[in-house]
Amino acid sequence: MLYLNNQGRSESLSYSKSISMSGHSKWSTIKRKKGVTDAKRGAEFTKLGRLIEVAARYGADLEMNPRLKLAVQKARSGNMPMANIEKAIRKGAGLDADKSQIEEVVYEGLGPGNVAVTIQTLTDNRNRTVSELRNIFVKAGGSLGNNGSVAWQFQQRGVLIVPKTEPDMEMKFIDAGASDFQDTDDTWEVYTQPKDLNQVKQNLTIAGVKVLEDKLTMVPTTTTKITDAALAKKVLNLMDVLDENPDVSEIFANFDIDDNLLEVE
């Protein structure tokens, strides 16, 4: 559909219903519904600490380092202790005795049913990480690929998670400058161009819309439709096992599974 944005320009906007969400959206929704169990909380804190550590390389001042500010906000939302947060900031800024370095490395692969998967990692040992990921893919019936093997099937977008606090919120998203939005049952996912993420968040806040989370994500340009329940279970199991790996920070996949095949344990 066409609309006039808040600068008066005519632009197109698409709107997706949750009945056929693609992998990036479906998986994030499943994760939110599951939450973080006590058994996995330690691994989650490790991931959040590494996220802060990498961001802190660009400065320890939250007001001067928006990436660090966002990482700290995410850690606090995940109930990470302040002592852990402060330690991660010191280490990333080079103020800690531990001088080991965390690297950001992206891996790509094909899962069951030729589902394209991109994995963002924060690791202190590339050899360990690639070995573990390769083993995970093989056990799932897939394969870890070379750089660029599936990256062409994704594009970077900004995404904001917004609770459903009132009806007819769509016009607020449009007026804020969103390029797309998606109904995910209990929340809205509002999409932007990467460079517009902070501005759209600011516009939504001014409009009285609460933003639960905002980040850059990878959205598939093509999707792999899965209609078989057994295959759907294999794909979601791969997502689970990858997510449990402490080196994995983000997972993006292009599967499209109908809601009636989903089982959130």
Q: What is the pLDDT of residue 33?
A: 59
Query: For the chain, what percent of residues have pLDDT higher than 90?
Result: 60
Confidence of residue 36 (pLDDT cuts 50, 70, 90): low
CATH 1.10.10.200 region(s) of the chain? 34-92
**Encoding tokens for residue 23?**
């992998």
**Alpha helix stretches (DSSP H) within 57-120:** 66-77, 82-92
Confidence of residue 80 (pLDDT cuts 50, 70, 90): very high
DSSP label of 6: T
Per-residue pLDDT of 202-261, as tens digits, reads: 999 999 999 988 888 899 998 999 999 999 999 999 999 999 899 999 999 999 887 777
What does each C-alpha distance from 209 to 15, 70, 92, 178 come to in angstroms?
Answer: 19, 18, 33, 13
CATH 3.30.70.980 region(s) of the chain? 103-152+222-257
Per-residue pLDDT of 50-59, as tens digits, reads: 999 999 999 9
Distance CA 193, CA 179 (A): 7
Question: According to CATH, what is the number of the domain 34-92?
Answer: 1.10.10.200
CA 35 to chain CA mean position, Å: 14
User: Is the CB of residue 66 less than 8 Å from the CB of residue 31?
Assistant: no
pTM: 0.76
Distance CA 155, CA 175 (A): 23
From first CA to last CA, the distance across the chain in angstroms is: 37
Distance CA 236, CA 231 (A): 9
Per-residue pLDDT of 107-150, as tens digits, reads: 999 999 999 999 999 999 999 999 999 999 999 999 999 999 99
Does residue 158 carry a pLDDT above 50? yes
Question: According to CATH, what is the number of the domain 103-152+222-257?
Answer: 3.30.70.980
